[in-house]
Amino acid sequence: MKKQFLILFLMGVAACNRAAPLHDDIYGFAADPADAVPVEAVVSEPEHYAGRKVAVAGTVHEVCQMDGCWLMLRSMDTDRGLRVHAELDEGGAYKFTVPGDISGRYAIVFGTISVPDEGAEAHYQEDAPGQIPILSMSAAGVRISPEETS
């Protein structure tokens, strides 16, 4: 009897000491994770996705360190990606920004896909020069996992 009580007591203590579940950080509109398309699919078929609103899932590889106004979303095994920038309001201000320390975390972004033009891309190249992405997105929202992808 004492042994059973001890086991039940220890199980209760263990259940009470469990960490609270982690929640995604949401900036702007919260896209439904079930609707997300992998970033690999989007960048492999740019003509299919250009001009469409879509939720895209991938790993954050770079973030604007000045304002948090853009991020690069890629899969873990490719350097091809999608530049995601926050939508602007009527006054030209960002509707939201993201923290600069989210590189390596899984994210779902929601917005309109477009083919970047050189003029619009110049701003982003100043902060993080590199390969011009095949596609960009004007994002209505970003959902970021609390943990890094492995």
- Cα separation of 67 and 9, whole Å? 51
Whether 88 maps to a domain, the answer reads yes
Q: What is the pLDDT along the chain (150 residues), one digit of tens a residue?
A: 555 544 444 455 455 545 555 788 999 998 888 889 999 999 888 889 999 999 999 999 999 999 999 999 987 676 778 899 999 999 999 999 999 999 999 999 999 999 876 666 565 556 555 555 668 899 999 999 887 765
pLDDT of residue 9: 47
Backbone phi and psi for residue 67, each to the nearest 5 degrees, phi listed first: -125, -15
Whether 3 maps to a domain, the answer reads no
Q: Taking Cα atoms as reference points, which of 93, 52, 85 lies closest to residue 69?
A: 85
Q: Domain limits at 68? A: 23-148
Whether 16 maps to a domain, the answer reads no
Backbone phi and psi for residue 104, each to the nearest 5 degrees, phi listed first: 90, -10
pTM value is 0.76
pLDDT of residue 16: 52
Output the domain CATH number for residue 64.
2.40.50.140
Whether 8 maps to a domain, the answer reads no
- Which helix (H) or strand (E) segment holds residue 107: the answer is strand 105-114
Question: How many domains, the chain?
Answer: 1
pLDDT of residue 73: 93
Whether 74 maps to a domain, the answer reads yes
Whether 137 maps to a domain, the answer reads yes
Whether 114 maps to a domain, the answer reads yes
> 138: which strand partners?
85, 112
Whether 82 maps to a domain, the answer reads yes
